Amino acid sequence: MKVIGPAAKTVFYLKKIQGQHPTWTLHYKIKCKSTEDELTNLLEYSEIKKNQPVAIIAREQFSGFGQNSKTWVSPKGGIWLSAAYPLFSKEFECQIFNLSLGIKLCEMLRQENINVCLKWPNDIFFGSKKLIGFLPRVVTRGKKIIYVRLGLGMNVLNFTPSEGISLSKVLQTKNINQHYWTAKVLKAFYDSIECNKKKEYVIKSANKFLTKSFLPSGYCPDSWKIKDIDSNGNLRIKNETQMKVIRRF
Q: What is the CATH number of the domain that holds 11?
A: 3.30.930.10
Identify whether residues 181 and 90 lie together within a single domain.
yes
Q: Is 3 left (phi over 0), alpha (psi -120 to 50) or beta?
A: beta
Domain presence at residue 46: yes
Q: What does the pLDDT look like over 211-242, one tens digit per residue?
A: 999 999 999 999 999 999 999 999 999 999 99
Total structural domains in the chain? 2
Domain presence at residue 222: yes
Structure confidence at residue 69 (pLDDT): 58
Q: What does the pLDDT look like over 79-88, one tens digit per residue?
A: 999 999 999 8
Identify whether residues 223 and 176 lie together within a single domain.
no
Structure confidence at residue 1 (pLDDT): 39
Structure confidence at residue 127 (pLDDT): 97
Share of the chain above pLDDT 70, in %: 93
- In eight-state DSSP terms, residue 76 is T
Identify whether residues 209 and 222 lie together within a single domain.
no
Domain presence at residue 209: yes
Identify whether residues 113 and 18 lie together within a single domain.
yes
Structure confidence at residue 236 (pLDDT): 98
Look at residue 199 and give its three-state secondary structure: helix
Q: Residue 178 above 90 pLDDT? A: yes
Structure confidence at residue 70 (pLDDT): 64
The range of the structural domain enclosing residue 221 comes to: 216-249
Q: What does the pLDDT look like over 56-108, one tens digit per residue?
A: 999 998 875 555 556 666 899 999 999 999 998 888 999 999 999 999 999 99
Neighbour tally for 34: CB within 10 Å: 20
Domain presence at residue 1: no
Identify whether residues 76 and 164 lie together within a single domain.
yes
Domain presence at residue 44: yes
The residues near 232 (Cβ < 8 Å, ≥ 6 apart) are 95, 96
Euclidean distance between CA atoms 227 and 240, whole angstroms: 12
**Residue 200, burial from CB neighbour count under 10 angstroms (0-12, 13-18, 19+):** exposed
Identify whether residues 133 and 220 lie together within a single domain.
no
Identify whether residues 17 and 117 lie together within a single domain.
yes
Domain presence at residue 186: yes
Structure confidence at residue 6 (pLDDT): 75
Neighbour tally for 241: CB within 10 Å: 6
Identify whether residues 21 and 99 lie together within a single domain.
yes
Identify whether residues 127 and 232 lie together within a single domain.
no
Identify whether residues 228 and 178 lie together within a single domain.
no
Domain presence at residue 154: yes
Identify whether residues 72 and 124 lie together within a single domain.
yes
| More confident call, 49 vs 184 | 184
Identify whether residues 96 and 68 lie together within a single domain.
yes
